[in-house]
Amino acid sequence: MLGKKLVTAQKRGETRALCLGLGMVACSMMMYFFIGITIVPFYTKSIWTTETVCKVLKANIEDKTLCPDSQGSEDEDIFSYPCLQVWVNLTASGQEVMLYQTEDTLERNPKCSYIPDKLEDSKEVKARIETIASNFKKYHTFPCYYDPGGTQSNVILSRLYPPKGLLFAFLWPTLLFTGGCLIIVLVKISQYVSVLSAWQ
């Protein structure tokens, strides 16, 4: 009687472990799919792939400019801020080009190198932009990214999704998938050993 209870408990434990492993594999597949339709297209779309050294030529704060929060937005989504324009000397080609914070900055407003957060206070925005401008004037050289194909003559300070960020995004679903497969394999090995022991 006790042996039957132990076998039943063992089968229940194996079933739960198997469901856990299958659930982890299913979750990892969903995460892979989500990353594949969100992050990967932005990574492959970026043409600023080669890193080089940029030297600041000038960093000026122009008059306030209007920037829509998104394309096709209404008037209430438009906000104004001081326009920071940073011009650098591209070491790779020796050209004088404009620097942008990320790929998204160029798409949202090609006139300015930096776009602040809409929710920030106007005084804080002005102080932050002045701080950024002074930092560019203080640190003359820094790494930046340019388009080796020559499609875009401008450069960006940092990529939205660099290779390390993409690898980090795939790290967690990979660990989840590996753990789920390991649980399934261990359950199958346990079932095989149990059947082999009963047969003997």
181, 21 in Cβ contact below 8 A?
A: yes
Cβ-based neighbour number of residue 28 at 10 Å: 20
Backbone dihedral angles phi then psi of residue 26, each to the nearest 5 degrees: -65, -40
> Please, which pLDDT band fits residue 176 given cuts at 50, 70 and 90?
very high
132, 33 in Cβ contact below 8 A?
A: no
Tell me the two tokens of residue 158.
Answer: 């940092």
How large is the average pLDDT for residues 167-173? 89
Judged by DSSP in three states, 147 sits in: coil
> Please, which pLDDT band fits residue 70 given cuts at 50, 70 and 90?
very low
In the prediction, which pLDDT does 67 show?
A: 56
Helix, strand, coil shares of the chain, percent, nearest 5, are 55, 20, 25
146, 90 in Cβ contact below 8 A?
A: yes
Q: How far apart are CA 34 and CA 55, in angstroms?
A: 38
pTM, whole model, 2 decimals? 0.68
> Please, which pLDDT band fits residue 72 given cuts at 50, 70 and 90?
very low
Q: Which residue has the higher pLDDT, 27 or 152?
A: 27
Q: How far apart are CA 77 and CA 114, in angstroms?
A: 18
Q: How far apart are CA 99 and CA 145, in angstroms?
A: 9
Write the pLDDT tens digit of every residue in 140-153: 888 999 888 777 88
